[in-house]
Amino acid sequence: MAYFPFMIQLDDKTCLLVGGGNVAARKAEMMLEFGARVHLVAKQVCDKIWKIENEKLTIEERSYQPEDLEGADIVIMATDDSELNSEVADLCKERRILVNVVDVKKDCGFYFPAIVRQKDVVVAVSTGGNSPGLASKIKKEIGKNLRRDYGQIADELGRAREEVMLTEPVEAKRKEILLDMLEEKLENNVIKLGTRGSELARIQTDMVLRALQEKYPMYRYETVILTTKGDRQTDRPITAFGGK
């Protein structure tokens, strides 16, 4: 069954993370990036975790205790003790606490998606826990094709939206204004390639265009034909017109 991509505000959430290895480090970094408070408990904590500098991260180098679940909104089990992982997952489900057990699909109440992020623009990819590798591949394809300024555009439109909501009382008019703003922002994404109208020039421009489209597919391209005096008089070589 497909999982619903529920976007949640983590600023006021507490995450209990049990485990001290590299996998736990990655989970901690992701949760902290989105503003959660992370309480990490593990008998042994790797250097990568100790090097994380974030005031919202607390670390206790000891064994997990059932009392650690108190106050937790989210629990992540990232230990190599499958019995402990399953036991804690069952307790979380009884208490209606969201739980993720790394690499154990049946014990998970939620999954970590593969994420593409630009500021507040977040694209999440999930395969329902069936293939993290496929999710990662799709993420890379999306990241490659996504224009690089969507995060900035979202910031600007967010500020504009607040102003429009305060100054324009008519809903239909607000929608029209905001759509016009969006179209104006997106139009700035067009790259124009100038070329002369000769067959050779067009062939060369097409080669450049294909190379750009392959390397930067997130942009739109337009070819503009530039007509010069030399192009209008095809019976004389261009050197005959003088100038530089």
- Residue 1's pLDDT band (cuts 50, 70, 90): confident
Rounded CA-CA distance 67/16 in Å is 11
Could you tell me the residue ranges of all domains in the chain?
A: 1-112, 113-145, 147-188, 189-244
pLDDT of 70-85, one tens digit each?
999 999 999 999 999 9
Residue 242 has pLDDT above 90, yes or no: no
Rounded distance, CA 232 to CA 193, Å?
A: 20
48: Cα separation from own chain's centroid: 23
Nearest by Cα to 68 from 10, 109, 13, 17: 17
Place of tokens 């699909």: 105
27 or 204, higher pLDDT = 27
Q: Determine the Cα–Cα distance for residues 94 and 88; give it in Å rounded to an integer.
A: 10
Q: Are 56 and 34 in contact (CB under 8 A)?
A: no
Pairing state between β 98-101 and 57-61: unpaired
Q: What is the pLDDT of residue 199?
A: 85
Least confident piece of the model among 39-43, 153-157, 192-196: 192-196
At 191 the pLDDT is 79
pLDDT above 80 for 228: no
Where does residue 51 rank: exposed (0-12), middle (13-18), buried (19+ CB within 10 A)?
exposed
Q: Class of the 189-244 domain?
A: alpha beta
Reported CATH class of domain 1-112: alpha beta
Q: Residue 28 in contact with residue 46, Cβ under 8 Å?
A: no
- Least confident interval from 29-33, 161-165, 185-189: 185-189
pLDDT at 210: 85
> Could you tell me which residues are beta bridge partners of residue 191?
221
Q: Which residues contact 95 (CB under 8 A, 6 or more apart)?
A: 69
pTM: 0.73
pLDDT digits (tens, 9 = 90+) for 182-197: 988 887 667 788 888 8
Write out the DSSP string of 211-228: HHHHH-TTSEEEEEEPP-
Tell whether the model's pLDDT for residue 119 goes beyond 90. yes
**Alpha carbon distance 103, 228 (integer Å):** 65
> What value does the mean pLDDT take over residues 136-143?
94
pLDDT band per the 50, 70, 90 thresholds, residue 48: very high
Interstrand relation of 190-195 and 220-225 (parallel, antiparallel or unpaired): parallel
Predicted pLDDT at 233: 58
Number of H helices, E strands in the chain: 8, 9
Residue with tokens 């394809």: 141
